[in-house]
């Protein structure tokens, strides 16, 4: 794998959840469609001057998987292609297949660098149990549903950044 | 006698013969003389008696008549006998009647007083008293006394004859013996001569001449044999003496060589070698040791040349030796004779050095060898320190650690492990680990060693982490453990057993139990309030929907906040600014010219923005409705807890299917209904529903797990007498026979995410309603059938 310089940010995110509505939620937050026509903005600039430079929202590349097994396969594929995901949002409860913990453990077998956010609305597992099973480490964060959009967005931003930093640091060390 | 001993055998022999024959002759003569004497005396007595008798007879008349003259005449007849010295006759009254004296009146004879009849030998005389009787009448006594001259004359003659015979026979004996003694003394003398020759000339080849087969012949033979042996031995001795000399020469050379070798060794030895002799005072008390030998290595160790040490005392030459305690050791070697081999340390040239010292008693002294083992000692100390550090680490860790050899015997046990197991460390070393602490499973059944993960690690040499097992203490109690067994290799790369690191998880189990209990309590209370199972699914669904609501509302508010509507007021302000020359502004100003077009674009955008917001709000509304539905459905069952109501069983069954509807459809489970007509029954609705939801969901899971395509769920309602039976049958994974009763136990589950109280609470609920819940399965892979039986009238 070539290390692009300067570090290219990895903004690939995988959402694993059996509920389609949740996927839509994530897309709305992480990959919003800015449908403001460019012409309109240009005209505004000309009429009102440069006073209104809107900060442009970061857009993430969001992929979807509806079962743990499917998500695991996608992580493997992405890793093999050299385009690994920086992070994944994994639902805790995804009947009938793997639950969030099983999925996380499987994914880490393939790609140990991936950052995981376990999402849960209500579950038999307590937080402590989740940590115990998934391993007490700095690669897991639990996000409780319902979540605020800003929470999801911040997690996405911070964790992709973290992935990038760790990834290139470890490469530097390896060199 | 002494002189007799030294006379020659020849003389001795002659003497012996003479003495022997002399003594024999003497004895013969004496016997002969004695016999002759006695015979003669007896004859004399007889003669005298006869004489006295005659005299008595002849003088009887004279006595009778008292005629002394006649009596004297009678007595004078005694003159015929010259040896009669005298005689007398006594009257019956004892008076001398008549006397005869041979020598006539010379008074040589005096009549003695009268004595009774009898003979008496006196000195040089024989006296006889004889009674004179006539016709029985005592008349008187005759007394006659005779001298012994005749006797003596006879004895003299005998003596003469005896002496003559003595001499004659003596001469004859000398002659005969001198002739015969050659038979004995000849060979002896010859032997003596031979012996003298041997002694004087040391010539063992001469031999004595043998003359006969008697004892002397044997003696000579023995003597010759002896000579022969001596001759042979002498020859052998002569020979061996020659060899001995040769050997002595050789040995001397060897000794010389050895001494050179020893010198070489001592000179070149790395070990210091010293020899000492003991110095004693007048009382024999040991006071010091004198150096006898110091080799070069010892010179270096002592820091003094050999020449300066040999002959000097140890204490004088090396006074610090006492401080080292060596002097006492030397004394001990000398006094007890034991060999000492020990290590000691001393400071040399201000550096602490270690020596190994071996001392051996040697005569009245000792030989000591030193070697400098400082390097080795330091290496050992480093090793020891390292080992202790390792030991400290092993001893201080809280985890139990034991090291098993390839046979599963305990090779090492740290204190934490021993403490946990309630044993002394020493008790455990060498014990087979499995039977000592791992013999029984937590459920009390035997734990065969073949199933033991630790032994499996010893066999396949892979690391294992094990949870949920128990180890047994010495006192027979057990404790839950988690352990890791790791195979280890020795320094040669061979497998040297496995190390088991274990933790007593009792505390953690207790904590876990507390959490679990709390969790269960929460679930129990939620079940009491309504239906835990339903609640779980409801909360999950509500959570998800709420998430969408949240996202939608945030999105809408963001949209509205960022709306371009605000730009309208800006535009209005701009137009207001140019109110006076609006026409010109809109037609000729660079900015103003763009305003009409912008307004069109803005309107279009605002329309689309509005559409998005409306769409989002519709979704929001729909989701809120969704939540309401979920909550309403939950409440319809939760609210009526504990109250019996009359319901149609069919409705409850359908509700249960509906509540699992999504899942059943998603997983492609076909539902078959076989409902018989049953009257409405009075039951606690939520309890029945809880049971049925449980059963339907379990059936769905069972179908799912089987992985088959034709997943089928059959629901039956049958009336039997006064009871109604509702059965839920699936064609899923089935239930092994041993689990058929256990599935109703609290906490039993075969599903990973199951909590194991669904069926438990279901069976309790059925019992509360005086009904029953039973399970049937033909075995794994053959599906299962759960039947809820309820009374028609409660």
Chain centroid to CA A106: 17
Q: Do B555 and A28 touch (CB under 8 A)?
A: yes
Q: Do B752 and A147 touch (CB under 8 A)?
A: no
Residues in B touching A47 (Cβ below 8 Å)? 571, 574, 591, 594-595, 598
CATH match for B6-176 among 3.30.450.20, 3.90.1150.10, 3.40.720.10, 3.30.360.10: 3.30.450.20
**Torsion region of B712: left, alpha or beta (phi above 0 gives left; psi -120 to 50 gives alpha):** beta
A:B CB pairs within 8 Å: 98
Which pLDDT value is given to residue A86?
A: 92
Residue A50 lies in a domain: yes
Residue A72 lies in a domain: yes
Say what the ipTM of the complex is: 0.74
Q: Write the pLDDT tens digit of every residue in B548-567.
A: 888 888 888 888 887 878 78
Q: Write the pLDDT tens digit of every residue in A33-53.
A: 766 667 777 777 777 765 545
Which pLDDT value is given to residue B640?
A: 44
| Phi/psi at A64 (5° precision) | -120, 140
SS3 sequence, B394-413? HHHCCCEEEEECCCCEEEEE
Which residues numbered 635-674 in B keep a CB inside 8 Å of some CB on A? Answer: 663, 667
Option in B539, B595, B605 nearest A37 (CB): B605
pLDDT band at B633 (very low <50, low <70, confident <90, very high): low
Residue A124 lies in a domain: yes
Of B566, B553, B540, B607, the closest CA to residue A29 belongs to B553
Residues in B touching A44 (Cβ below 8 Å)? 567, 598
Domain that holds residue A118: 12-174
Q: Write the pLDDT tens digit of every residue in B316-354.
A: 877 766 556 778 888 888 888 888 888 877 766 677 778
Domain boundaries, chain B: 6-176, 269-379, 397-504, 532-629, 641-791
Which pLDDT value is given to residue B788?
A: 93
Q: Is the pLDDT of residue A5 over 50?
A: no
Chain B CB within 8 Å of residue A82 CB: no
Chain centroid to CA B267: 45
What mean pLDDT, rounded, does chain B reach?
82
CATH match for B269-379 among 3.40.50.12370, 3.30.450.20, 3.30.930.10, 3.40.50.1260: 3.30.450.20
Fold equal for B6-176 and B397-504 = yes
Torsion of CA A91, A93, A96, A98, to 10 degrees: 60
Residue A149 lies in a domain: yes
Domain count, chain A: 1
Query: Which pTM does this prediction carry?
Result: 0.34
Residue A2 lies in a domain: no
pLDDT band at A16 (very low <50, low <70, confident <90, very high): very high
Q: Are B675 and B639 in contact (CB under 8 A)?
A: no
Question: Please, which residues bridge with residue B121 across strands?
Answer: B126
Which pLDDT value is given to residue A72?
A: 94
Residues in B touching A48 (Cβ below 8 Å)? 567, 570, 574
CATH match for B641-791 among 3.10.180.10, 3.30.565.10, 3.30.56.10, 3.40.640.10: 3.30.565.10
pLDDT band at A122 (very low <50, low <70, confident <90, very high): low
Strand, helix or coil for residue B95: coil
Chain B CB within 8 Å of residue A146 CB: yes
A174/B503: higher pLDDT: B503
Q: Are B592 and B585 in contact (CB under 8 A)?
A: yes
| Mean pLDDT confidence for A141-160 | 85
Which residues numbered 23-42 in A keep a CB inside 8 Å of some CB on B? Answer: 24-25, 28-29, 35-37, 39-40
Query: Rounded to an integer, what distance in angstroms lies between the CA atom of residue A23 and that of residue B540?
Result: 16
| Mean pLDDT confidence for B218-230 | 88
Residue B773 C-alpha, separation from nearest chain A C-alpha, in angstroms = 25
pLDDT band at B746 (very low <50, low <70, confident <90, very high): low
Which pLDDT value is given to residue A13?
A: 94
Which residues numbered 560-619 in B keep a CB inside 8 Å of some CB on A? Answer: 562, 564, 567, 570-571, 574, 590-591, 594-595, 597-598, 601-602, 605, 608, 612
Q: Write the pLDDT tens digit of every residue in B130-159.
A: 888 888 888 888 888 888 888 888 888 888
Residue A168 lies in a domain: yes
The full DSSP string for A54-93 is: PPPPP--EEEEESSHHHHHHHHHHHHHTT---SEEEEES-
The percent of residues above 70 in pLDDT, for chain B, comes to 91
Q: Is the pLDDT of residue A65 over 60?
A: yes
Chain B CB within 8 Å of residue A145 CB: yes
Q: Give yes or no for a cis peptide into B122 (omega within 30° of 0).
A: no
Residue B460 C-alpha, separation from nearest chain A C-alpha, in angstroms = 24
Q: Name the range with the highest mean pLDDT among B249-253, B510-514, B563-567.
A: B249-253
Q: What is the CATH number of the domain that holds A93?
A: 3.40.50.2300
Q: Which CATH superfamily is domain B397-504 in?
A: PAS domain (3.30.450.20)
The full DSSP string for B24-57 is: HHHHHHHHHHHHHHHHHHHHHHHHHHHHHHHHHH
């Amino acid at each position: 794998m070539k290390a692009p310089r300067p570090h290219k940010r990895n903004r690939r995110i995988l959402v694993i959840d059996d509920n389609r509505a949740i996927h839509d939620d994530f897309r709305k937050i992480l990959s919003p469609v800015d449908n403001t026509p460019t012409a309109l903005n240009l005209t505004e600039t000309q009429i009102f001057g440069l006073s209104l430079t809107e900060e442009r929202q970061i857009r993430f590349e969001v992929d979807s998987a509806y079962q743990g097994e499917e998500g695991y396969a996608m992580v493997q594929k992405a890793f093999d292609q050299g385009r690994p995901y920086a992070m994944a949002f994994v639902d805790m409860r995804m009947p009938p297949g793997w639950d969030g913990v099983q999925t996380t453990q499987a994914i880490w077998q393939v790609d140990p660098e991936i950052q995981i956010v376990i999402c849960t609305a209500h579950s038999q597992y307590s937080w402590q149990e989740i940590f115990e099973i998934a391993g007490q480490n700095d690669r897991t964060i639990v996000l409780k549903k319902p979540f605020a959009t800003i929470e999801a967005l911040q997690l996405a931003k911070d964790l992709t950044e973290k992935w990038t930093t760790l990834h290139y640091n470890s490469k530097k060390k390896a060199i | 006698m002494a002189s007799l001993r030294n006379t020659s055998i020849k003389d001795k022999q002659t003497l012996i013969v003479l003495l022997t024959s002399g003594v024999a002759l003497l004895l013969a003569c004496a016997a002969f003389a004695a016999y002759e004497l006695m015979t003669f005396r007896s004859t004399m007595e007889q003669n005298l008696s006869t004489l006295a008798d005659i005299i008595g007879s002849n003088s009887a008349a004279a006595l009778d008549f008292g005629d002394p003259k006649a009596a004297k005449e009678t007595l004078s007849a005694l003159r015929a006998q010259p040896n009669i010295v005298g005689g007398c006759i006594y009257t019956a009254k004892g008076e001398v009647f008549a006397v005869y004296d041979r020598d006539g009146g010379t008074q040589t004879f005096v009549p003695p007083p009268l004595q009774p009849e009898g003979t008496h030998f006196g000195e040089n005389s024989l006296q006889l008293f004889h009674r004179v009787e006539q016709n029985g009448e005592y008349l008187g006594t005759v007394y006659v006394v005779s001298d012994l001259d005749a006797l003596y004359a006879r004895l003299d003659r005998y003596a003469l004859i005896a002496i003559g015979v003595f001499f004659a026979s003596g001469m004859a004996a000398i002659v005969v013996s001198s002739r015969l003694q050659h038979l004995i003394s000849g060979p002896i003398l010859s032997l003596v001569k031979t012996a003298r020759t041997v002694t004087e000339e040391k010539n063992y080849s001469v031999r004595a001449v043998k003359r006969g087969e008697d004892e002397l012949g044997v003696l000579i033979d023995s003597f010759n044999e002896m000579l022969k042996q001596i001759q042979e031995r002498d020859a052998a001795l002569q020979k061996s003496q020659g060899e001995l000399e040769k050997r002595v020469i050789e040995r001397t050379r060897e000794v010389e060589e050895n001494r050179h070798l020893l010198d070489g060794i001592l000179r070149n030895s790395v070990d210091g070698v010293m020899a000492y002799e003991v110095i004693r005072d007048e009382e024999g008390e040991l006071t010091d040791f004198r150096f006898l030998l110091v080799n070069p290595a010892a010179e270096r160790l002592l820091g003094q040349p050999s020449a300066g040490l040999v002959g000097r005392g140890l204490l004088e030459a090396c006074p610090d030796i006492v401080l080292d305690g060596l002097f006492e050791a030397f004394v001990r070697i000398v006094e007890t004779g034991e060999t000492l081999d020990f290590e000691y340390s001393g400071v040399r040239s201000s550096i602490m050095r270690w020596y190994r010292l071996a001392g051996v008693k040697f005569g009245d002294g000792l030989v000591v060898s030193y070697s400098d083992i400082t390097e080795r000692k330091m290496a050992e100390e480093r090793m020891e320190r390292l080992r202790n550090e390792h030991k400290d680490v092993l001893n201080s860790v809280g985890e139990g650690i034991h090291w098993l050899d390839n046979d599963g015997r305990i090779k090492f046990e740290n204190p934490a492990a021993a403490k946990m197991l309630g044993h002394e460390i020493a008790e455990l070393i060498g014990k087979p680990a499995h039977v000592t602490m791992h013999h029984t499973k937590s459920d009390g059944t035997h734990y065969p060693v073949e199933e033991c993960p630790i032994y499996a690690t010893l066999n396949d040499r892979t690391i294992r982490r094990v949870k949920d097992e128990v180890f047994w203490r010495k006192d027979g109690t057990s404790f839950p453990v988690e352990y890791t067994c790791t195979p280890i290799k020795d320094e040669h790369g061979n497998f040297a057993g496995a190390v088991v690191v274990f933790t007593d998880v009792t505390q953690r189990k207790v904590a876990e139990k507390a959490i679990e209990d709390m969790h269960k309590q929460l679930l129990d209370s939620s079940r009491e309030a309504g239906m835990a199972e339903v609640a779980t699914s409801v909360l999950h669904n509500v959570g998800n929907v709420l998430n969408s609501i949240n996202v939608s509302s945030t999105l809408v508010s963001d949209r509205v906040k960022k709306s371009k509507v605000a730009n309208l007021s800006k535009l209005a302000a701009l137009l207001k600014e140019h109110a006076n020359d609006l026409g010109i502004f809109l037609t000729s100003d660079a900015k103003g010219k763009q305003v009409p077009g912008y307004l069109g674009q803005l309107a279009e955008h605002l329309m689309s923005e509005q559409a998005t917001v409306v769409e989002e709000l519709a979704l929001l509304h729909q989701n809120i409705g969704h939540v309401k539905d979920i909550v309403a459905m939950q409440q319809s069952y939760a609210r009526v807890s504990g109250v019996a109501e009359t319901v149609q069983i069919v409705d409850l069954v359908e509700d249960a299917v509906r509540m699992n509807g999504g899942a059943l459809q998603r997983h492609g489970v076909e539902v078959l209904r076989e409902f018989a007509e049953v009257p409405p029954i009075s039951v606690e609705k939520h309890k029945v529903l809880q049971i049925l939801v449980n059963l339907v969901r379990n059936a769905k899971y069972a179908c799912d797990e089987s992985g088959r395509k034709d997943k089928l769920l059959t629901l039956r309602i049958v009336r039997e007498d006064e009871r109604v039976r509702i059965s839920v049958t699936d064609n899923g994974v089935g239930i092994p026979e041993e689990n058929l009763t256990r599935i109703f136990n609290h906490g039993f589950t075969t599903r990973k995410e199951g909590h194991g109280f669904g069926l438990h609470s279901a069976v309790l609920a059925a019992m509360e309603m005086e009904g029953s819940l039973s399970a049937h399965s033909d075995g794994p892979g053959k599906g299962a059938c759960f039947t809820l039986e309820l009374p028609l009238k409660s």
